[in-house]
Structure 1
Amino acid sequence: MRRPFLTLAAFLGLASVATAAEPTFCTTRINGQDVPMAYDKEEPSLQENYSRREILFTRWGRDTCPSYVVLRSLTPDLTDEERGPFCLRHDKESDSTLGYDLGRRDAYGRCKEPAKSLCQRVNQTKDTAVAMAGAATNGAVRGLRALPDGSGAVIASGSGSFISSTLSAISGGASAIASSPALLTGAAVSVVAVGGAVYICR
């Protein structure tokens, strides 16, 4: 699935309708291809998510975009807090970002532990996200847990059949996710509800 990101052209289009600081242009590698991006270097949230080690790395490396900018471009519907559970999955062979996964980030925004899955946003799932969050809060459905990182994310992990049965026990449109082809494989997956959307990581 092709993932959205803020391209140079899209950024310039936004800049034409809103006054902002002079943009900083950079290049990142996504799925083996160089992708131009732009961001506001003075943005407070950037300063909070940009380590000194990464500043040096992007200054001398081929990939010159801060990981915060890349992750934000891959998850445009989330706030910084809601992005908390996710990290960038980096492929050493192609030296590029493949997507994002669940896990803690290193100083470069990449997954600290070797990532084996990719997360994919499932569309039309706001009701399901709300229902999952409610079920986790009430303890009504076994297998759901809220992450204690302030992101507000609710997660269920296990085999596809376990996740399907868990979601089937939740009202609010979760049955559409329960019958998703991504869960019917039987492989280990995680389903994350955060920011009014549901993500399947497999």
Structure 2
Amino acid sequence: MPAAHLTAAALLIVLAIALPAATTAEPVFCTTRIAGKDVPLAYDKDEPSLRDNYGLREIVFTRWGRDTCPSYVVLRSLTPDLTDEQRGLFCLRHDPETKSVIGYDLGRRDSYGRCERPAATVCQRVNQTRSAAGQITSAAARGAASGLRALPDGTTAAIISGSSGYISQALGAIGGAAASIAASPALLAGAAVSVVAVGGAVYACAE
């Protein structure tokens, strides 16, 4: 069940996560659906990043729909340790049955911040230390692990995809904190897995 990949922290999002630290404007409160539950968030409607990621079509959609939060605000609340540029790798995975977000996946976003193509995986943060992401991205830059590549998109991200066994071997070859991710339940959960190192975080995107 994809919703099981969401941590409790993702469902108990504090308002401070969704708000930029430096804002002094009155927050706009909204509600979004995550894993079938209503989650309150807040944001600054005058924030430049919001204007850059919030189109007219979505403004109309959130005004009349049950979800009143911009998708950009929702995705930011689920990935609080990423910058907007780094967050650009991900899109929201939406479940039409529960009419709610069930996580995020790798891929391009549509006009509503959802994955343009039907998403097959849900991503979950799996590392406990920043060094794991650094080891993976460094290995990608050196070409030190088969199949591991740096993404040419300005995010300094690295990605490797394949079976869980293949990825476990690659991470084990890197060693250190990167190798410890090989035993992550999130990585071992699916047959097809992608591991993404971006910023100081590592994500496993599994079926």
Equivalent-residue separation in structure 2 for 1:183 and 1:107 (angstroms):
30
Which letter does structure 1 place at the counterpart of 2:64?
W
Report what 1:168 is aligned to. Answer: 172
Match of 1:41 among 45, 70, 86: 45
Residues 103, 122 of structure 2: 8 Å contact kept: yes
Equivalent-residue separation in structure 2 for 1:27 and 1:181 (angstroms):
31
1:51 counterpart = 2:55: yes
Equivalent-residue separation in structure 1 for 2:137 and 2:127 (angstroms):
17
Which consecutive unaligned segments of at least 5 residues does structure 1 have?
Answer: none
Residues 5, 73 of structure 1: 8 Å contact kept: no
> Which portions of structure 1, spanning 4 or more consecutive aligned residues, are displaced by more than 4 angstroms?
none
Report what 1:143 is aligned to. Answer: 147
Identify if the C-alpha distance between structure 1 residues 76 and 137 changes in structure 2 by more than 3 Å, giving closer, same or farther.
Answer: same
For the residue of structure 2 that corresponds to 1:149, the secondary structure is coil
Which letter does structure 2 place at the counterpart of 1:163?
I
Report what 2:196 is aligned to. Answer: 192
Which consecutive unaligned segments of at least 5 residues does structure 2 have?
Answer: 1-6
Of residues 157-166 and 170-179 in structure 1, the stretch that sits farther from structure 2 once superposed is 170-179
CA deviation profile, 1:19-72 (whole Å, cap 9, x unmatched): 610111111111111111110000001001111111111111111100000000
- 1:92-171 aligned at under 5 Å gives the runs 92-171=96-175
Identify if the C-alpha distance between structure 1 residues 154 and 127 changes in structure 2 by more than 3 Å, giving closer, same or farther.
Answer: same
Equivalent-residue separation in structure 1 for 2:92 and 2:83 (angstroms):
16
Provide the alpha-carbon RMSD of the alignment.
Answer: 2.2
Equivalent-residue separation in structure 2 for 1:126 and 1:50 (angstroms):
31
Identity %: 67
Equivalent-residue separation in structure 2 for 1:96 and 1:53 (angstroms):
18
Residues 90, 96 of structure 1: 8 Å contact kept: yes
Identify if the C-alpha distance between structure 1 residues 78 and 134 changes in structure 2 by more than 3 Å, giving closer, same or farther.
Answer: same
Residues 75, 104 of structure 2: 8 Å contact kept: yes
For the residue of structure 2 that corresponds to 1:4, the secondary structure is helix
Identify if the C-alpha distance between structure 1 residues 159 and 59 changes in structure 2 by more than 3 Å, giving closer, same or farther.
Answer: same
Quote the offset at 1:6 in angstroms: 7.5
Which letter does structure 1 place at the counterpart of 2:193?
V
Residues 49, 68 of structure 1: 8 Å contact kept: yes
1:68 counterpart = 2:72: yes
Which letter does structure 1 place at the counterpart of 2:31?
T
- How many equivalent pairs are there? 199
Equivalent-residue separation in structure 1 for 2:59 and 2:195 (angstroms):
33
TM-score by length of 2: 0.89
Quote the offset at 1:184 in angstroms: 3.7
TM-score by length of 1: 0.91
Which letter does structure 1 place at the counterpart of 2:168?
S
Which letter does structure 1 place at the counterpart of 2:8?
R
Identify if the C-alpha distance between structure 1 residues 47 and 166 changes in structure 2 by more than 3 Å, giving closer, same or farther.
Answer: same
